[in-house]
Structure 1
Amino acid sequence: MKKVLVPILLFVACSWLSSCDLDDDSPNFYFAALNVVEADVPESFEFGETYDIEVTYQRPNSCTFFEGFDVTRSDQTDRDVVVIGSVLVDEDAACTQEVTEVVATLKFHVIYTGEYHFRFYAGEDENEEPIYLEYTVPVNPEPTN
């Protein structure tokens, strides 16, 4: 039994002593809000339906990648939408500084009646105050049987 147990314990001890440290405290990316140029919202919603809202945003360089949407509810039918990107900070990466417009799809499910108010983050003004593109979309009433 000792002949089996000693090699196993020796292997475990060596594994602990030779483990590598992955915490070098220098992340190779960070998250950033990307500016929305336009959102293609429908003229009206149907209650209970899901819609694809095409959102055009600016990709500031080739080292910025789309990660998704941050949608916050400020009231029952008010939504603030921010496009989130990850930006690489690797010094070895060759990033072109060309601004391109890219389209991403936001899936939105209508769960309330009334009007939905959307505010899409579009950047900051000269005073570093946020700018929003605002859209109001009414919800058609539920059909009565």
Structure 2
Amino acid sequence: MKQFILLLVFVTIFIGCSVGEDNNPKFHLELLPIDSAVLPLEFKKDSIYELPFNYIRPSTCHIYEGFYYERNLNIRTIAIQTSVIEQDNCTTATVNPITQILQFKPTTETSYIFKLWKGKDANGVDIYEEITIPVIP
């Protein structure tokens, strides 16, 4: 009887888990440009700011994953990082623009330069909008 139950369990597992099927959706990462931002005219050192960044979601298959955020001395390069689900039933997103908040705390008394990624030009070169914000004590 035990052998019959083991055989039944094995057959059930084999039938339920077909090796040829791939139920995991395929996706790739894609950066989206910053459409606009509302940044202050100045920062106060050691204060926390909530910076709203707007972007355009191209399709319903673009899922927000967070900010692409690169630090280099006082320069901050920012874009929107998304996962794009690779499927045929993607439609144009109807709710746009979308706002995401980035928390930022200036820790030095120098100016910060925000490089907002705007996409690529016709030659594939990155385009940035640079905004300099001074820090007051």
TM-score norm. by structure 1 comes to: 0.75
Secondary structure of the residue that 1:100 maps to in structure 2?
coil
Which sections of structure 2, spanning at least 5 residues, go unmatched? none
C-alpha separation in 2, matches of 1:23 and 1:67: 27
Amino acid at match of 1:56: N
Please list every run of at least 4 consecutive aligned residues from structure 1 whose deviation after the TM superposition is greater than 4 angstroms. 17-24
Corresponding position: 1:107 with 2:103: yes
Partner of 2:77: 80
How many equivalent pairs are there?
Answer: 130
For 1:23-102, what aligned pairs fall within 5 Å after superposition?
A: 24=22, 27-74=25-72, 76-91=73-88, 93-96=89-92, 100-102=96-98
Aligned Cα root-mean-square deviation (Å) = 2.9
Which sections of structure 1, spanning at least 5 residues, go unmatched? 1-5
**Which deviates the most, 40-49 or 98-107?**
98-107
Q: Compute the displacement of 1:86 (Å).
A: 1.4
Amino acid at match of 1:78: I
Deviations 1:18-69 (A, max 9, x none): 5946994x75221100011111111100111110111111111122121110
Amino acid at match of 1:77: N
Amino acid at match of 2:64: F
User: Identity rate of aligned residues, in percent?
Assistant: 29
C-alpha separation in 2, matches of 1:98 and 1:130: 27
Q: Does structure 2 retain, via aligned residues, the 8 Å contact 1:72–1:79?
A: yes
Secondary structure of the residue that 2:56 maps to in structure 1?
strand
TM-score norm. by structure 2 comes to: 0.79
Q: Name the CA shift for 1:77/1:34 in 2 (closer, same or farther; >3 Å).
A: same
**Which deviates the most, 97-106 or 114-123?**
97-106
The structure with the largest alpha-carbon Rg is 1
